[in-house]
Chains A and B, each alone.
Chain A
C-alpha cells in the first residue's frame, strides 16, 4: 500500500491529539473560577486542529519515502545508541575519554579507517576540552582523568 508511512504517522498523531485534548479537560479549575480562557482552552483548540490534520494525512497520504532497511537501519540504530551512551558516560568517564570514543565510533561507522577515526576523536576532544576549560573557563567534566 502506498502512503503507509503517512497513514501510520496520521494514526499516531490522532492518538496523540486525542490524549492531549483529553488530558487538558482533566485539570482542576484554576483558583478564582473559570474565565474566558483557562489553561485548557488553547490546548483544546490545538488538539482539534491536530485531529483534523491527522485525519487528512490518513485519507490523503503522500507517497512513501525510501525507508532504510537492513544494514542502513542497523547503522542508524548504532549511531543513536552511541549518542545515548555518550550522554550517559559523559560525567562518569569524563569529557575527553567519552568524546574520543563517541566521535571515534561515529566516524569509523561513517567509513573512516578505525585508527584515523579514533585519532580524530582524541585530537578534537583534547582541543575542545582545552579550549573550553582554559580558554573560556567553562568546566567540562574531567571524570577519570581528574587530578586530585
Chain B
C-alpha cells in the first residue's frame, strides 16, 4: 500500500489553495478550448505552456495547470460533437453518431449531461488504472539499459501514427525531420557546433516550445484563413434537462465497459483515443444488439465512446510518465513542459520527483470532480461560446501565442522563427505529413542520441548491442509491426470506422 501513501502525499500537494486555484482555472480554460471550434487539446496545452513559464510557476503547479487543461479539453470536445455534429478532434467522432441525433430529438441537454457523467466515469477508471499500473511499469522500466531505451524510442515513433494511420512512411519522415531539428546547436558530449551557421541564436539549439506553438497555433490560423471558416455557426439551443437518475444508472455498465476499453487502448502504443472510443462504441453495439437504437439517439451510444475517449486520455499518460515516451499529441506537449522544467521523464521520475508525479495524478482526480461540477450547470455558457465567430477568436489566440513566446525570451528573433514554423506546419499538414512525430522527434532526439552513444560506449563500438537482449529484440519487433500493420490492417479498420459513421442515418 505504498502507492496509497504516495497518492495521499499527492493530494496534499494538489489540495493547497494555490494549486487548487490553478487546477480550477485549467479545467475551465480547458473546457473552453475544447469546445471552441478549431482548437484541439494539443493546441490548447501548447498555447498555455509559455504562459505557465512566464508566470514563473513552480513545476508541480505548472504540470497541474496543464493536466487540468488536458482533461478539460477532452470534456469540451464533446459539446460541438453533440450540438453541431462537428467533432472537435478525432476521438470525438464516435460521440457524434448518437449525440447529434439525440440533440435533434430535443434531448441535447440530456446528451450533454450524460456525456459529462460518462467522461467523468471514463477518466476516473483511467486514472485508477494509471495509479495501479504506472508504479509497476516504472519499476520494470528501471531494468532498461541504453540499448533498450533506443529501441523504445524507435517503437514510440513507429507506433505513433497508430494502426489506423494512413501512411506510416510519412510518420517516419516527420519523426526524422523532428530529430534533425533537435540536432541543431552545440553537441553536448563533444562541443562540436552542428548546423549553427554561426548564428548566435542557434548555438543553444531550437527551442521546442516555439516550434510547438508555431506548428500548431499558427498553422491552425492559416487553415482557417484558407477555408474562410471565419463566419461562425448558427446559434444552438440546449433545451431542458430531463435526464432521470434511473436512466443514468442504467447506462453505468456501458460507461464502465467504455472506460476500461478506452484505458487499455490509451496505454497500448499505437492504439490511441480514437481507437478507444471506436472499440467502446462497437462493443456496446454488439453487446446490446437489437435492444438499442444505435445511430438514432441512443443514450448508451453517447455514453460508451465518451467514457472510452476519456479513459484513453488518462491511459495515454501511463507511458508518458513512466517511460518518458508519449503516445499522443497532447501528451507529447505535456512532455515538452516536463523537459523544459528540467525534469527528466522516465522511471526515475517516480522516485526523484515523486511530488510532481503524484501531484499530477491527484490533480487529475480533483480536476475530474471539478469538471463534472463545472460542466453540468455551466454548459449553457460553454454553448454560447460555440457561436463566437473564429474570425475574432483566432487572431486573439494567435496574439496570445505571440505574447507568450515573446515574454519568455524578449527576443523578436524567436517570433520570426515561430512564424517560419507556422508556415512550414501549414505546408506539411497540406501534404499530410503529421505534426506530432515532428514534435516528438524534437523532444526525444537528444535522448535518443545520448542512449545510442551510451550503448555503443558500453559495447566498445559494437552496433549489435542494440538488438542483443531479449527485451530489445521484442521492442524492435513491435516497432517493426507498428510500421507494417497499418499497411495490412489499417485500410480494413478505417473502412469499418467509415461504415459505422455512414450507417447512422443522420437524415435531414
Contacts and interface: CB of A to CB of B under 8 A. Distances in A.
Interface string B415-435: 110010011001000111100
Given A36-B457, A37-B453, A53 B173 contact: yes
A120 B407 CA distance: 22
A1 interface: no
Contact of B226 (A53, A68, A125): A68
Contacts of A124: 396, 399
Interface stretch (B72-80, B191-199, B269-277): B191-199
Nearest to A53: B173
Contacts of B456: 36-37
A76 interface: yes
Interface of A: 5-6, 9, 13, 20, 23-24, 27-28, 30-31, 35-39, 41-43, 46, 49-50, 53-54, 56-57, 62, 65, 67-68, 72, 75-76, 79-80, 83-84, 86-88, 90-91, 95, 99, 102-103, 106-107, 109-112, 116-117, 120-121, 124-125, 128, 132, 136, 138, 140
B371 interface: no
21 contacts: A35-B457, A35-B461, A36-B456, A36-B461, A43-B194, A49-B176, A50-B180, A62-B432, A65-B431, A76-B225, A76-B426, A83-B422, A84-B419, A86-B415, A91-B412, A99-B399, A106-B221, A107-B230, A111-B391, A136-B55, A140-B403
Interface residues on B, range: 35 or more
Nearest to A72: B226
Interface string B156-200: 000000000011011011001101100100010111111100000
B412 A88 contact: yes
A35 B435 CA distance: 34
B167 A39 contact: no
A27 B192 contact: yes
A112 to B, nearest CB: 5
B230 A112 contact: yes
Interface string B436-477: 000000000000110011001101110000000000000000
Interface of B: 54-55, 166-167, 169-170, 172-173, 176-177, 179-180, 183, 187, 189-195, 218, 221-222, 224-226, 228, 230-231, 389-392, 394-396, 398-400, 402-403, 406-407, 412, 415-416, 419, 422-423, 426, 430-433, 448-449, 452-453, 456-457, 459-461
Contacts of A49: 172, 176
Given A23-B195, A43-B183, A50-B180, A76 B230 contact: no
Contact of A121 (B395, B402, B460): B395
B176 A46 contact: yes
Contacts of B179: 46
B228 A110 contact: yes
A79 B396 contact: no
| 10 tightest Cβ-Cβ pairs between the two chains A and B | A110-B230, A36-B461, A87-B415, A110-B391, A106-B395, A30-B190, A39-B192, A36-B456, A111-B230, A53-B173
Given A41-B452, A103-B399, A109-B225, 18 more contacts: A5-B431, A23-B195, A31-B190, A37-B453, A46-B179, A53-B169, A53-B173, A57-B170, A62-B432, A65-B430, A84-B419, A86-B402, A87-B416, A87-B419, A91-B412, A107-B394, A112-B389, A121-B395
Contacts of B228: 72, 75, 110-111
A84 B407 contact: no
A38 B190 contact: yes
B249 to A, nearest CB: 45
Contact of B176 (A28, A36, A50, A68): A50
Contacts of A36: 453, 456-457, 459-461
Given A76-B226, A79-B221, A111-B230, A87 B412 contact: yes
Nearest to B224: A110
A114 to B, nearest CB: 12
B180 A138 contact: no
A20 B173 contact: no
A120 B396 contact: yes
B173 A30 contact: no
A49 B171 CA distance: 12
Contacts of A50: 173, 176-177, 180
A79 B419 contact: no
A62 B167 contact: yes
B225 A9 contact: no
Contacts of B195: 20, 23
B457 to A, nearest CB: 6
A79 to B, nearest CB: 5
Contacts of B190: 30-31, 38-39
A86 to B, nearest CB: 7
A106 B432 contact: no
Given A23-B195, A27-B192, A110-B225, A65 B432 contact: yes
Contacts of B403: 95, 128, 132, 140
Nearest to B214: A83
A146 to B, nearest CB: 16
Nearest to B180: A46
A87 B402 contact: yes
A56 B487 CA distance: 15
B389 A103 contact: no
Nearest to A51: B176
B131 to A, nearest CB: 34
Q: Which of B54, B170, B176, B192 has the most CB of A within 10 A?
A: B176
Contacts of A28: 192
Contacts of A106: 221, 394-395, 398
Nearest to A50: B176
A27 B194 contact: yes
Nearest to B172: A53
